[in-house]
Amino acid sequence: MIKSQNLVKEYGSFRAVDKVSFELRKGDILGFLGPNGAGKSTTMKMITGFLPPTSGTASVGGHDIQSHPIEAKRLLGYLPESGPLYQEMTVLEFLKFAGEIRGMDTGARDKALTRVMEICHLENVRHQTIETLSKGFRQRVGMAQAVLHDPSYLVMDEPTDGLDPNQKQEVRKLIASMASDKAIILSTHILEEVEAMCNRVIIIARGRVLVDETPADLLKRHPRHNAVRLVLQSGGPDAVRETLDRIPQVGKVEALGNGWLIHPKHGEVIKPRVWEAARAGNWPVESLENAPLRLEEVFRELTLAPDAKPEKTKPSQKKSREKVEAA
């Protein structure tokens, strides 16, 4: 289990990380999201024991990272941001070093080396010095180093940064395949990655946790959550709008091209209702589908709020609170 309790990091009078708390169990993949400078990397550096926190504690596998750093670090694999590596070593030398410093014996290390070089596709550059590698390959070396000892806890700061689309896909697959027996934290700016891999999302802005929930719950905050898009063949009846308005669960109805964007009143599932209405009215339906939702839009709304405050309320409640505040 990775546990972070009220982690705070201050640089002078500036609070880079402000009381970040969460718990992560084996099997969890936590996606860390947030705008640039939000404090993601700083939080990770504190969890991995590189930066001492100003206050608060973190523990890995039950070992406090401050008081029992060696035990905690033994269980950790860490891919730092922008992969710092010993540039003058070759890939093989570096990975051997990483294995040795973790106390692996030669047999186990060589087996692990073969494994990670295969999954990170490093065989062809094994004797090349790291400084001569391209950025993506350096990132792979960092990745290989992080998983070499098959750690129970993995912390990865932007693991797919700098990789080509194929490699990105492979790394995502790799991470997902490791999930069952590990607890993984990764940060990213690519929101599809979170949807594809993570079962938890933490959005952090200005050092504070804004939300901590599943990607599906996060999507529920989307203004178009459960909205449907109805497209009719030309020459549909004029009474469509009135009929739609009469369905009790339907809220706002917007005209959109030759169709309609239909919002639920309180986030209910309205697709079957709309479908019934269409059949009853014998409308020439061309398509009826859920409105496309993008995590980006949720992210933007959450992090661009003038004063993004930590909040755990659902969107509907939020709206009513805003009304109260406005009044």
Partner 1 sequence: MKSVISIFKREFLGYFRSPVAYVFLAVFLIASAGLPWFVGGFFESNEAGLDRFFIFLPWVFLFLIPAVGMRLWSEEKRSGTWELLFTMPVSVTQAVVAKFLAGWAFVSLAIVLTLPMPITIAYLGEPDWGPVISGYFGAILMAGAYLGVCSLASSMTKNQVISFVISVVFCLLLVLLGWSVFNELMLSLNLPVALVDALANFSFVTHFESMVKGLIRVKDLFFFFSLTAFCLCLNILVLER
Ligand X SMILES: Nc1ncnc2c1ncn2[C@@H]1O[C@H](COP(=O)(O)OP(=O)(O)OP(=O)(O)O)[C@@H](O)[C@H]1O
Pick 37 or 284: Cβ nearer ligand X: 37
- Listed residue (278, 246, 273, 272) closest to 259, CA to CA: 278
Among 22, 31, 33, 34, contact with ligand X (rule: CB under 6 A): 34
What's the CA angle centered on 191, arms 213 and 157, to 5 degrees?
85
Pick 145 or 167: Cβ nearer partner 1: 145
* 4, interface contact from ligand X, Mg ion, partner 1, none, CB < 5-8 Å by kind: none
| Stretch in the footprint of ligand X (CB under 6 A) among 37-45, 104-112, 134-142, 304-312 | 37-45
| Beta-carbon-side half-sphere exposure of residue 86 (alpha carbons within 13 Å) | 12
Counting contacts by CB under 6 A, is residue 52 touching ligand X?
no
| Binding footprint of ligand X, residue count (CB under 6 A) | 11
**How far are the Cα atoms of 91, 113, 120, 130 from residue 126, in angstroms, in the given order?**
5, 10, 11, 9
Asked whether the CA dihedral 294, 298, 299, 304 is positive or negative, the reply is positive
Q: Where are the beta strands (DSSP E) in 41-132?
A: 55-60, 63-64, 76-79
Counting contacts by CB under 8 A, is residue 27 touching partner 1?
no
Contact code string over 40-59 relative to partner 1, x by CB under 8 A: -----x--xxx-x-------
Residue type, 232: L
Pick 39 or 99: Cβ nearer ligand X: 39
The interface with partner 1 within residues 79-98 (CB under 8 A) comprises 80, 82, 84-89, 97-98
Pick 41 or 152: Cβ nearer ligand X: 41
Pick 5 or 66: Cβ nearer partner 1: 66
Counting contacts by CB under 8 A, is residue 67 touching partner 1?
no
DSSP state at residue 12: T
* 140, interface contact from ligand X, Mg ion, partner 1, none, CB < 5-8 Å by kind: none
Give the span between the Cα atoms of 56 and 52, in whole angstroms.
10
Q: Where are the alpha helices (DSSP H) in 236-281?
A: 240-246, 271-280
DSSP state at residue 147: H
Structure tokens at 191: 């929101």
Give the span between the Cα atoms of 27 and 50, in whole angstroms.
24
* 16, interface contact from partner 1, Mg ion, ligand X, none, CB < 5-8 Å by kind: ligand X
From the number of C-beta atoms within 10 Å of its C-beta (0-12, 13-18, 19+), residue 238 rates as: exposed
- Which parts of this chain interact with Mg ion (CB under 5 A)? 40-41, 81
Counting contacts by CB under 6 A, is residue 13 touching ligand X?
no
Q: Is residue 108 within 8 Å of 96, Cβ to Cβ?
A: no
Counting contacts by CB under 6 A, is residue 40 touching ligand X?
yes
Among 41, 59, 160, 226, contact with ligand X (rule: CB under 6 A): 41
Which residues lie near partner 1 (CB under 8 A)?
Answer: 45, 48-50, 52, 69-71, 73-74, 76, 78, 80, 82, 84-89, 97-98, 100-103, 145
Q: Which residues bind ligand X (CB under 6 A)?
A: 11, 16, 34, 36-42, 81
